[in-house]
């Protein structure tokens, strides 16, 4: 039944593929839709979020980082495959971005097997969360407002669109 957010066919397919690859199907957990706060709380039950290619997690990866769950990503060749890398760089965690699937697999295994290394990443994420560009909405708002003002000024002066940088507007 799709109304609950559950797709039975997808669950069957994923369980079948897990079994075919030596992963016990019962290890896959399909959780029902819940309120946003409860959704974020679920992330704290996981150790590591594995971003996907060719299409990355986008908002889900951002939610994971906000909840304190480290995300591992591989830099893709398209916009949809590079979002995770952008999020991790903005969160101050570029070491969780790999440049190949082989490097992605190596780092995933290292973090899965080395609790101290994973704990170090979690601590860094916790320290960065309240200061990193990814979650600094005040800074983003100021930059966005400055960009809008620059575009308006260019348009009013009859100047064509162009690339430009912005600095935050003083409050």
Q: Give per-residue pLDDT as tens, 80-123.
A: 889 999 999 999 999 999 999 999 999 999 999 999 999 999 99
Q: What is the pTM of this model?
A: 0.75
What is the CATH code for 34-135?
Answer: 3.40.50.2000
pLDDT of res. 3:
41
- Sorted by where each begins, the domain ranges of the chain are 1-32, 34-135, 136-171
Q: What pLDDT sits at residue 169?
A: 56
- Supply the pLDDT for residue 1: 31
pLDDT (tens digit per residue) in 86-98: 999 999 999 999 9
- CA pair distance 167, 140, nearest whole angstrom: 10
What are residue 97's phi and psi, to 5 degrees? -110, 125
Closest CA to 57 of 86, 93, 37: 86
Q: What angle do CA 163, 167, 171 make, to 5 degrees?
A: 140
């Amino acid at each position: 039944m799709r109304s609950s957010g559950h797709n039975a066919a997808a669950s069957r397919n994923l369980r079948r593929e897990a079994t075919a690859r030596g992963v016990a199907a019962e290890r896959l957990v399909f959780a029902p839709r819940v309120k946003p706060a409860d959704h974020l709380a679920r992330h704290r039950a996981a150790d590591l979020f594995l971003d996907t290619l060719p299409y990355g997690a986008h908002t889900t990866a951002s939610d994971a980082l906000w909840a304190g769950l480290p995300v591992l990503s591989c830099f893709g060749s398209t916009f949809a495959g590079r979002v995770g890398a952008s999020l991790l760089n903005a969160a101050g965690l570029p070491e969780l971005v790999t440049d190949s699937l082989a490097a992605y697999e190596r780092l995933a295994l290292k973090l899965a097997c080395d609790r101290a290394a994973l704990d170090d990443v979690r601590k860094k994420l916790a320290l960065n969360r309240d200061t990193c560009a990814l979650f600094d909405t005040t800074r983003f708002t100021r930059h966005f407002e400055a960009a809008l003002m620059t575009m308006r000024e260019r348009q009013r002066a009859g100047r064509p669109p162009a690339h430009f940088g912005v600095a935050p507007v003083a409050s």
